[in-house]
Structure 1
Amino acid sequence: MADPRGLVVAITGGARGIGAATAATLAEAGATVAIGDIDGEAAAATAAELPGAIGLPLDVTDAESHQRFLDAVAQRLGAVDVLVANAGVMWVGRFEDEPVTATRRMFAVNVEGVINGMRLATPAMRKRGRGQIVVVASVASRLAPRGEASYAATKHAVLGYCTAVRQELHRSGVDVSVLMPTVVETDLAAGTSSGIVKRLPPRHVADAVLSLVRRPRPELYLPKHVGVSIRFLDLVPARLRGFCQRLLVVDQTSSDPGTREDYQRRSLE
């Protein structure tokens, strides 16, 4: 079990929502936090509220930007012990209505952003013989809600990538953890439905990240009982599984596009 006190933790997409809550939670636990975000000013403002934290501009889709971020963190705070890959975007609606630009943006941020971070952060961790990557994914890594076809595809890709990398890092001292929450109360979820599951406050996700830092595990569902439901669905025959998913998993094709207009314009165009 790792003590977060004294660890250097870099968080992508950390200026708002889950990232900001995670930064606050880890800072309270004694970690030294670096916040990276496409909105550099917002990252700096969030960091200013936390002891010893720094906020820097970061475009996770740009490998050079990601390298500059990691280098700056190492120079100012010390070697990165934990990278929390949190940055993500989501377009919601019928798959045939999804703009090509939105599809490309989701894959760039949600998949390439994670790959860039893991590829650039792990060599130094492996050399030191210790470190951790915590990827904030989604329960959509295992389920595929109607109205989130491309988003679910990106999260499935992230889970597969992390599973393979974890095997490559076996016995290296570097852990890879994937956190899969249900719908969280953030701008990303604006205008969507959480179905029969209550929306999670960002602080609950942040607490789960902290628990993974303290006790690394390959995968963690939030709430935990969701993992039980998914394992049950894995055992159900394919045709019945589709029926169960339609019954249990919310249909996002009926989400309110007006409520999401501002978020999608800022994040996906």
Structure 2
Amino acid sequence: MRSTIPARGRVIAITGAARGIGAAIARELAAAGAHVALGDLDAAAAAETAAALPGTAAGFALDVTVDDSFTGFLDAVEARWGPIDVLINNAGVMWVGRFEDEPEAATRRQLAVNLHGVIRGVRLAAPRMRARGRGHLVTVASAASKLAPAGEATYAATKHGVYGYLSAVRAELHGSGVELSVVMPTVVDTPLAAGTSPGAVATLTPEDVARAVADVLARPRFEVTVPRRVGLLVRLANLLPDRPRTALYRRLVPNQITDSDPASRAGYERATLTDNPGEPR
């Protein structure tokens, strides 16, 4: 069921929005009447995606790994539409394979985009919102914020780091009028997840995540898992002793070393996980 988000007239900035989950979020919110800014390393693709959206949307150049680029993005959005009501940190990259085989460039890139990119976005946007006494910072993280699939060691580390960082910032912003939310989907059908296994749950669509983001904007809360039952299972599993908990996780959580298809991921990883990538997601 479509959310009745009170988005009309709100200024919403989204990182990694040219394609995939970010583009689906932009489409959902633009259709609801928001002014939507699509930031992406591929500025031309962001502009093309924005041009096809209903309502008011525009594409902007954004490299979430560079302070000046992120600041310039926020400034450009505010110059166009006024103060940003919502920042959605969505840009992310993932390398899959045995931890000892991960190239150093892939490790650096995941830390720079997935973790430091979120830290940078919050650090730059939150003070603007706190000064006005309102705002909402939403981060599209992953179920890997709470779980750690084999074959996703660094990716899971970045998502665990994001969860911890946002938890601490939330405590600091308590009472400021600024909301924080972390949305944690399982495997989503995007190039980032190409060739990976969803494990015991069905693969999500980008639109599933977009609806979850729209819902959390309408009903702010800190944690959102998609699908919701995964969050419940994680909480229940954490009540178990180590041995049965480990056995349960082995049944539910995919092993991306044995269950993924490296050939299907090769193009994505070449394009995104070098020191000079073509696009973040």
Quickly name the TM-score band, shorter chain normalised: over 0.9
The equivalent of 2:203 in structure 1 is 199
The alignment covers a number of residue pairs equal to 269
Q: Please, which of 17, 32, 37 is the counterpart of residue 14 of structure 1?
A: 17
Letter in 1 for 2:19: R
Q: CA RMSD in A?
A: 1.0
Question: Does structure 1 conserve the Cα–Cα contact (< 8 Å) formed by 2:5 and 2:32?
Answer: no
Q: Does 1:111 align with 2:111?
A: no
Residue pairs, 1:173-188, within 5 angstroms? 173-188=177-192
Q: Please, which of 263, 266, 281 is the counterpart of residue 261 of structure 1?
A: 266
TM-score norm. by structure 2 comes to 0.94
Determine the C-alpha separation between the residues in 2 that align with 1:3 and 1:217: 15
Identity of aligned residues (%): 59
- Larger mean CA deviation between 33-42 and 45-54 belongs to 45-54
Q: Which consecutive unaligned segments of at least 5 residues does structure 1 have?
A: none
- Give the Å deviation of 1:239: 2.7
Determine the C-alpha separation between the residues in 2 that align with 1:248 and 1:63: 39
Q: Does 1:52 align with 2:49?
A: no
Determine the C-alpha separation between the residues in 1 that align with 2:127 and 2:199: 41
> After the TM superposition, which parts of structure 1 deviate over 2 Å for at least 4 consecutive aligned residues?
none
Q: Which consecutive unaligned segments of at least 5 residues does structure 2 have?
A: 275-281
Letter in 1 for 2:135: G
Residue pairs, 1:239-258, within 5 angstroms? 239-254=243-258, 255-258=260-263
Determine the C-alpha separation between the residues in 2 that align with 1:83 and 1:223: 23
Q: Please, which of 145, 164, 173 is the counterpart of residue 141 of structure 1?
A: 145
Question: Does structure 1 conserve the Cα–Cα contact (< 8 Å) formed by 2:185 and 2:226?
Answer: yes
Q: Please, which of 171, 176, 190 is the counterpart of residue 175 of structure 2?
A: 171
Please list the CA deviations of residues 111-165 of structure 1 after superposition, one character each: whole Å capped at 9, or x if unmatched.
0000110000011100110000000000000000000011000000000000000
- Give the Å deviation of 1:216: 0.6
SS at match of 1:185: coil
Residue pairs, 1:203-214, within 5 angstroms? 203-214=207-218
Question: Does structure 1 conserve the Cα–Cα contact (< 8 Å) formed by 2:33 and 2:56?
Answer: no
Q: Please, which of 73, 79, 91 is the counterpart of residue 77 of structure 2?
A: 73
TM-score norm. by structure 1 comes to 0.98
The equivalent of 2:27 in structure 1 is 24
- Give the Å deviation of 1:2: 6.5
